[in-house]
Chains A and B, each alone.
Chain A
Amino acid sequence: MSTKAADVVVIGAGIVGAACAWEFAREGMSVTLIDSGAPGGGATAAGMGHVAVMDDSEPQFALTRYSQQLWREIVDELPDDCEYETCGTLWIAADDEELAEVRRKQQAYTRRGIDAEVLDAAALARAEPNLRSGLAGALRVPGDLVVFPPCVARWLIAGATECGAQVRLGTAAVEISDRGVRLADDSLLPAGAIINATGHGAERLTPGLSLQPRKGHLAITDRYPGFIHHELIELGYLKSAAAVGTDSAAMNVQPRITGQMLIGSSRQTGQESTDVDMAILGRMLRRAMEYLPALARVSTIRTWTGFRAATADKLPLIGRCSSGQRSSQGRLYLATGHEGLGITMAPGTARLLVDAVMGRESAIPPEPYLPARLEKGDSA
């Protein structure tokens, strides 16, 4: 009960909480990181680890680009188990209509300083011989990269620990109050600032966030080195990711440094069970085979699911939480709601929060991500 107050208590040791703990600790602040389970064992272990610049909206572009720059600063230090590789992304256009969209995207990316080139049908076939013939072309974004997220989370936590952070695993936080964070064993962690980085379950500690869990399926294959060379995503994925309330499956296949391939991905709302749903898994695999027919001859060795935390406006919740203000005296900050981009956005999220807590100016405007934009008038 008489624990000395930490400058920051971070709840949740997924990629987002791990990145926060690391950034705060590097600033010389005293940090306690807590997780009810294993570090990186939540959505972070389920995700694909694609670190991609995305342009669904200006703020999405700003945060993904900023974060990818921050990723580049650390990738050379990552140990081998983090499986880092800059394989680039191919956004595949199936027909001329999608190719027109590819051209628009190419301009949008290059205008903002991101390398991107349009591949015509022949260039696409040369780049990825296992794709079916008859595709219209693709947008190649060479700077996108891939990591193995749970190992990165572990590495970030080790870095935070080296800077003096305390890590408490195996005990859940059950309440955030004006006195600090109360754990399931009834101990109390007093804190200057509290970061709720508990992913899609963040509402259990901070009610009223209106997060929607979106279930996703993935499959991983045995090792087939050289089968594909880029992360291959059908352009229609963007529509699929943006559509709220309907089940969808879009082709998203990622080469791993091991020669394996991760095959995704599906989106389902209103699901609570973590079980693999054969119907949607089948739909997802058939979709991938429509683009990569030779996948039919490939062995899949494991399938699993995970949940993304979606917000109403498709942007994450990063910054001070005003709805929890009265009970936590304005010390509560949120870092969740990243939907399918939490791996990508983790480093930028952590920097924005450090800036917010320390009262510094950020490298990108923080307003679009502030939780206040989605809060209902009445605060708790």
Chain B
Amino acid sequence: MSRQVTVAVNGKSVSVPAGSTAAVAVAAVGLSQFRTSVDGEPRGPLCGMGICFECRVTINGRAHRRSCQTVCTAGMEICTDGP
């Protein structure tokens, strides 16, 4: 059994295996829209390797963090309401 880490996505608690990225946590609560584009369209992970910047979310109050490159830590707050 792998160790679990608990984070909050849009205020909702979710546990993911230790070492998971924030993108995993967002997906784990059932969301596919990670942010909203300039033209109001939904956006989510595309490359999964830090290149495309499509997966940006707000992490602990800091906007435009790449969720596919940020490993979850206990108590991390992730928000998908960002631009």
Contacts and interface: CB of A to CB of B under 8 A. Distances in A.
Interface string B38-68: 1000000000000000000000001110000
A224 B65 CA distance: 12
The SS class assigned to the B binding surface is strand
A224 B38 contact: no
Interface of B: 38, 62-64, 83
Interface in A179-221: none
Contacts of B38: 223, 258
B82 to A, nearest CB: 8
Nearest to A301: B53
A299 B63 CA distance: 9
Q: Name, among A225, A298, A299, the residue most crowded by chain B CB atoms within 10 Å (CB to CB).
A: A299
A225 B83 contact: yes
Given A223-B64, A224-B63, A224-B64, 12 more contacts: A222-B63, A222-B64, A222-B83, A223-B38, A223-B63, A223-B83, A225-B83, A258-B38, A259-B83, A297-B62, A298-B64, A299-B64
Contacts of B62: 297
A222 B62 CA distance: 12
Contacts of A298: 64
Interface in A247-282: 258-259
Interface in A223-238: 223-225
A168 B62 CA distance: 48
Contacts of B83: 222-223, 225, 259
Nearest to B63: A224
Interface residues of A, number: 9
A294 B83 CA distance: 18
Nearest to A222: B64
Contacts of A299: 64
Interface string A153-186: 0000000000000000000000000000000000
Contacts of A222: 63-64, 83
A222 B35 CA distance: 13
B64 to A, nearest CB: 5
A225 B64 CA distance: 12
A96 B2 CA distance: 60
Contacts of A258: 38
Nearest to B61: A297
A297 B61 CA distance: 10
A225 B83 CA distance: 9
Nearest to A259: B83
Contacts of B64: 222-224, 298-299
The 8 A-B pairs with the shortest beta carbon distances in the complex, nearest first, are A223-B83, A222-B64, A299-B64, A297-B62, A224-B63, A259-B83, A225-B83, A258-B38
A130 to B, nearest CB: 13
Nearest to B62: A297
Nearest to B83: A223
Nearest to A294: B62
Interface in A95-125: none
B25 to A, nearest CB: 21
Contacts of A223: 38, 63-64, 83
A222 B38 CA distance: 11
A259 to B, nearest CB: 6
A299 B56 CA distance: 11
B75 to A, nearest CB: 19
A222 B63 CA distance: 9
A380 B28 CA distance: 76
B15 to A, nearest CB: 28
A294 to B, nearest CB: 10
15 contacts: A222-B63, A222-B64, A222-B83, A223-B38, A223-B63, A223-B64, A223-B83, A224-B63, A224-B64, A225-B83, A258-B38, A259-B83, A297-B62, A298-B64, A299-B64
A70 to B, nearest CB: 30
Nearest to B66: A299
